[in-house]
Amino acid sequence: MTTQPAPPIPAGGAFWAGRWRSPVAVLEVHDPEDGRLVGVAGDCTAGDVDAAVSAVAQAVLHGPAWPVWQRREALHRAAVLLAEREADLARLISREGCKTVRGAAAEVRRAVETVRLSAEQADRLEGRTLPFGDTPRGEDRLGWYTREPVGVVAAITPFNDPLNLVAHKVAPALIGGNGVVLKPAEQTPLVALAFIELLLEAGVPADRVAVLPGRGATVGAALVGHPRVDLVSFTGGFATGNAIAATAGAKKTMMELGGNGTVVVLPDADVRRAARAVVDGAFGNAGQNCLSVQRVFVARELLDDLVERVVHLTSELVVGSKADERTDVGPLIDVASATRVESWVDEAVEGGAAVLIGAKRDGTYYWPTVLTSVPVGARVLTEEVFGPVVSIEAFDSVDDVVADVNGLEYGLQAGVFTRDIDSALDVAQRLRVGAVMINDTGDFRIDAMPFGGGKRSGVGREGVPFAVDAMTEPKIIAIHRTPRSA
C-alpha cells in the first residue's frame, strides 16, 4: 500500500464561543483501511453543547450585525481557500474516512461549488410588498416582508461525505444570517474542524460558528433538545432521524435520510450506457452513498446483455488502497459495517440469490458484488445496504416495477433508461421518489437542485437555494397609515 505523509491536522479538538478548545476526553480517529491513528478530536459533552449554543444565540441576537455583503464576501473567500487546499483536504478526507483520494478530491470540488453557490444566494434574501389593499380591512395599510434568519441552526452530519454535507448545512445557514453549531460524524470530525478553521480565516465571525465533535447520543441529542436551537438540519440514517424527531419536539427540522436506489432499464434502452452508469452508481465510495444504485430492473430480453456487461465492468474495478490514484473501491467505514453487508448478502444467497461476482470480505473491505434471483423481501432489496452490492432482476411488466418501487419504505431518487421520451416520462411521473434521472441512474445531483425524498428518505429538501429558504423566514412589517379624513 502507498505510504503518504500525514495530512495537516487542525489546531484544536473543538471550537465554540470564539476560541479553540481542547476537551479533556478525545475521540481517536483511525483510518478504516489500516487502523492507523489519523488524529484526535474533542469528545464534547452536553455541558459543552449548552455553552456553545448559548454563545452562538447571544451573538445572533445581541452581537454586532453581520451585513449580507460581508457574509457573501466571507463565503466567496472560503470557496477560494477550499479550492487552493484541494490536495490537503482530499488527503485528510481520504485518511479519516472511506473515500479514495480521487473521490475525496471530487468531494472538495463539490464543496467549493456548494460554498460559492451559498455566497451567491445573497440575492435570494429578498422580500416583496404585500397587497394589503386586497381586503377592506387592509385599505389603510402598507407593508412588506423580508427574509430573516431563523436564529441558531444545529447541523448534524454523517461520515460518507464529510466535507460537502457539512458545507451544505453551514454555508446556507451563514448566508441566511444564522449562527451554526456543527456536530460532525464521530468517524470523520477532522475535515469538519479544518472547514471551520478555513471559514474563520475567510472572515466568518468567530462567535457565529461552533464545531463540537462527539457522540450522537450525547452531543447530538443535547444539541437537538436544546431550547435555544431554532432549526435542526440532519443528514444520516432513518433510525437516527426518528430519534431526533422524538427529541426535537416542536422545532423546525430538515432531514436527509437514506435510500435504496432503483434503476429501470426499458426494452429499448442503450444497454452499454446503462451498464456503465449502474457500475459507477453502485460501487462509487464502496456503495456508501445515499444515492447508491442498489436495485436494477431490466426488461427480460435485455437481462443477459446487461448482466454480462455489468459483471465485466465490475471485474475491471480496482479494489485497494485509498491513497492510490488508480483505486476505484476502498474500504467500508468499519468492520461492523463490512460484516453487516456480508451477512445481508449471505441471507440473500441462503434464500436462493446467485452471486455473479464479489461477495468476498477482508477486514473493512467488501468486494463489489452483483446478485441476481434475489428472493422477494431480502434486505439487500428492501433496506439500505450502504455497501457495494447491486441486484439485477428481469421484469415483464413496467407496472410491476412501479408498484414495487412505490411500495418501498424509501423514496430518494431513481433512474430510467430508454430511448423513448413518452415511456421515460410515464415511468418518471409514476415513481414516488424525490427525483428521476432519465438515461442516468439516481446517483446524480447538482448542489443547486432541491434534494431529498419522502417516506424514510427524508423530510423537506436540501440543496443550496432550498436550504437558504428553509433556514430563513419571512418577517412582515406593516404600517397603519393615518386615514386621510383624520
Which residues are tagged catalytic?
256, 290
Q: Which of these, 157, 152, 290, lies nearest to 216 by C-alpha position?
A: 157
> Per CB under 6 A, does 372 bind ligand NAD?
no
By beta-carbon proximity to ligand NAD, the closer residue of 257 and 374 is: 257
Candidates 13-21, 236-244, 272-280, 342-350 — which segment interacts with ligand NAD by CB under 6 A?
Answer: 236-244
> Per CB under 6 A, does 18 bind ligand NAD?
no
User: Which residue is listed with cell 480496482?
Assistant: 318
> Per CB under 6 A, does 427 bind ligand NAD?
no
* Residues 6+ away with beta carbon under 8 Å from 80: none
> Per CB under 6 A, does 235 bind ligand NAD?
yes
Contact 210, 58 (CB under 8 A): no
Candidates 29-37, 41-49, 180-188, 349-357 — which segment interacts with ligand NAD by CB under 6 A?
Answer: 180-188
The site map against ligand NAD for 118-157 (x = CB under 6 A) is --------------------------------------xx
CB of residue 131 vs ligand NAD: minimum separation in angstroms?
38
Read off the C-alpha cell for 467.
436550504
CB of residue 345 vs ligand NAD: minimum separation in angstroms?
18
> Per CB under 6 A, does 450 bind ligand NAD?
no
User: Which residue is listed with cell 477486514?
Assistant: 363
The residues that bridge with 145 in the sheet, in sequence order, are 128, 476
By beta-carbon proximity to ligand NAD, the closer residue of 48 and 256 is: 256
- Among 224, 248, 275, 296, contact with ligand NAD (rule: CB under 6 A): 224
By beta-carbon proximity to ligand NAD, the closer residue of 125 and 248 is: 248
How far is it, in rounded angstroms, from Cα 170 to Cα 180?
6
Which amino acid is located at 110 in the chain?
A: R
- Among 185, 296, 310, 389, contact with ligand NAD (rule: CB under 6 A): 185
By beta-carbon proximity to ligand NAD, the closer residue of 164 and 372 is: 164
Angle of helix 190-202 versus helix 86-96 axis, rounded to 10: 150
* Residues 6+ away with beta carbon under 8 Å from 251: 224, 229, 230, 231, 232
Positive or negative, the CA dihedral 440, 443, 444, 449 is: positive
CB of residue 363 vs ligand NAD: minimum separation in angstroms?
19
- Among 120, 148, 186, 426, contact with ligand NAD (rule: CB under 6 A): 186
The C-alpha angle 200, 201, 202, rounded to 5 degrees, equals: 90
**375-414: which residues touch ligand NAD (CB under 6 A)?**
384, 386
The C-alpha angle 479, 127, 463, rounded to 5 degrees, equals: 150
How far is it, in rounded angstroms, from Cα 258 to Cα 154?
20
Contact 98, 285 (CB under 8 A): yes
Give me the residues that bind ligand NAD (CB under 6 A), please.
Answer: 156-161, 165, 183, 185-186, 216-217, 220-221, 224, 235-237, 240, 243-244, 256-259, 290, 384, 386, 458
